[in-house]
Every structure is written in C-alpha cells, then in structure tokens.
Structure 1
C-alpha cells in the first residue's frame, strides 16, 4: 500500500473521530471503514477481525447502556423522539449547534407537556442529556480503540 493511501485513510480516521464529537458525519462508521479498508488491502486479517468486533461491541454498548439509564430515570421514548425531531430541525436552522439545542428543547417541551411543571420536566431533560453524553463517550472510546488498533497494525505490518 502506498504512503499516499495510508495518509488518506488516516485523514478519514481523523475526520471520523471529529464526526463523533461534532455529529455531522457517521464518525464511528468512517473510522471503522477506513481501518477495515487498510486491513483488507494489506491482508492484516487479525486487524480486520479485531476492529469489526470492537465496532460491533461499541454499537451495542452505545444503545444498551444509555437506554438502560433512560429507563431507570423514567424518560419515555416519546420525549427522546421529540428531542431527535427538534434536533434535526435545529441542525438545519443553526448548523451543528442547533442540533444540541434542539434536542434539549424537544425533550424539555415533551416532558413539560407530560409532567405539567418546569420543576419536574427539567430533571428528565438533564437525565436524557447525560444519556446522550454517555452514548457519545462510548462511541468516541470505540473510535479511539479502533484507531489505536490500527496504529498497532501499522507497526506490526
């Protein structure tokens, strides 16, 4: 594999990691895909298997752990759906930053409508934000583990 292709794949990994923090791109998918391409082209099969297992585990944990937290916190799916819908609108109204504000607003308004008071709606909103933060942390950790595995593969190959 040429140095140019390796550098381009490294750029894809960096852009993917940034895409995890700033939700514009499918970050983890981009990181996994770039490393998988390198592993397949260089026939580093152990790395291809390892990063695929890490990717699958990261995806599973990304949905299981925050979902469990939300259930124990009593935040209904309806509020999360409202948050995501308003986040999508917010993303297009105020790029990137609007998604975060839209999510908070959507969850808060849904919880306010469900619970009837600001004092009751705000703790649920904070709980939902913590769950989203946990999901992002899991995704970033998985991306960093995949990147570190690739670094090991670069040294090994």
Structure 2
C-alpha cells in the first residue's frame, strides 16, 4: 500500500477513535473497517493475521463493554429504563447544546428519571453517579480495545513494508 493509502487508513482509524469518545460516528466500525480495507489492499498473510488479531481484540472488548458495566449498574440498582431515558435526553441535549449537551442531557435525564421513581435527592444522585461511571467504564473498555487493535495495525504496517 502506498504512503497515501496508509495515511488515509490512519486518518479513518483516528476518526474512529474519536467517534468512540464522542459517539457521533460508529467508532469501532470505522477502526475495524479501516484495518480491513488495509488488509484487503495489502493482501499478504501478515496483513490478514493483523486484521484477525485486531478483530479478536475488538470482539473481546465489545463483549466486556456490554457485560462488565451492566453487572456493576445492576449491583447499584440502576434500572435499564433509567439509562434509556438518559440516552434519549442525551440525544436531545446534543442538539440543544452541541457536543457537551450529550453528557449534560444524559446526566439530567438519568437524574430526573431516578428522582421521579425515588423522590429522594441523595439516592437519585447516587444512582446517577453509578450510571455515569458505568457509561464511562463502557467507553473506556471500547476505547482500549480499539487502541490495542490500532497498535496491532501499526505493527502490521511496519512488518509489511
């Protein structure tokens, strides 16, 4: 692959990593998609092994992303319906206040939903904190998997040159 092609793949990976932190773009799909395009164009055994390792890393991080934070939130008695309301409020917040409105809307939505069912400020705020920690953990796990996959790709680029 030419240097320009490698730079385009690297840019797609960088946009994917940014998309994990700011969930506007399908971050993990961009990362694995860019690595897949690189593997197809390079077409060597090494490139396909690199793609396979990257796919396994992203697959493992995706499984962990959906199991670990959910278990912690269940232990803290944060209901799924509260997270859904927080997600909807986050989407609305994103359009009201671009970018940071997503976070503000999520927190406000979770707090409002918790307070509506448990009219106690302390317990509603405690549930909100658990929900925010769970979402942060989920994003962190997803980002770690994508960064590891990206690192494997960088090694693969050096091995195939």
Q: For 2:24, what is the secondary structure of its paired residue?
A: coil
- Normalising by structure 1, what TM-score? 0.96
* Cα offsets for 1:23-78 (capped at 9, x unmatched): 22111211111112111221221112111111211111111111111111100111
The match for 2:156 is 153
Q: Aligned pair 1:55/2:58, yes or no? A: yes
Deviation at 1:129, TM superposition (A): 0.3
Q: For 1:74, what is the secondary structure of its paired residue?
A: coil
* Equivalent pairs, count: 157
Q: 2:42 & 2:64 partners in 1: Cα distance? A: 29
Decide whether the 8 Å contact of 2:58 with 2:142 is kept in 1. no
- Normalising by structure 2, what TM-score? 0.94
* Cα offsets for 1:95-143 (capped at 9, x unmatched): 1110100000110001001111111100000000000010111011011
Decide whether the 8 Å contact of 1:36 with 1:51 is kept in 2. no
1:64 to 53, 67, 70: 67
Q: 2:133 & 2:40 partners in 1: Cα distance? A: 37
Unaligned runs of 5+ residues in structure 2 are none
Instruction: Please tell me the root mean square deviation across aligned C-alpha atoms, in Å.
Output: 0.9
The 5 A counterparts of 1:58-137 are 58-137=61-140
Q: 1:23 & 1:33 partners in 2: Cα distance? A: 17
Unaligned runs of 5+ residues in structure 1 are none
The match for 2:144 is 141
Q: 1:114 & 1:145 partners in 2: Cα distance? A: 41
